[in-house]
Amino acid sequence: MLKKVEFSEKEKDDIRTLMKFVGIYCRENHNGERVPFSFILFDIKEIEKKEISLCPDCSQLLTYGLTMRLKCPHDPKPMCKKCETQCYHGDYKAKIREVMKFSGMYMVRHGRVDMLYHYLI
């Protein structure tokens, strides 16, 4: 760990949501080998008690997403799709959209509509 980072409640919330969305997507779509996700910049367990396992592709996507979230220059952070700073480019953008759509629908089907209020992208 490079340094002790303090997060606002909103940031923690977004981090948890991002983890949840990518976690569901990977679990439901990828059958390959999954390893517990860890993040280089901070100890993920300080924010989310539950560990998630991801395939290498999804780990990369989540790492990217978390990094971008923490680098967001706006305070308060706007909805990503309405933001002038588009963090996600090319493949990552297509991928995160797919993840949000899939996991968003998954949560609706499973009665987790409350999660959608936190919809990030």
Cβ nearer to Zn ion, comparing 55 with 70? 55
Q: How far is the CB of 32 from Zn ion (least distance, A)?
A: 7
Asked if 61 and 96 touch (Cβ cutoff 8 Å), the reply is yes
Asked if 70 and 87 touch (Cβ cutoff 8 Å), the reply is no
Asked if 37 and 51 touch (Cβ cutoff 8 Å), the reply is yes
Interacting residues with Zn ion (CB under 5 A) = 26, 30, 55, 58
Cβ nearer to Zn ion, comparing 32 with 90? 32
Q: How far is the CB of 76 from Zn ion (least distance, A)?
A: 30
Q: How far is the CB of 74 from Zn ion (least distance, A)?
A: 29
Q: Which one, of 53, 50, 58, lies nearest residue 102 by Cα?
A: 58
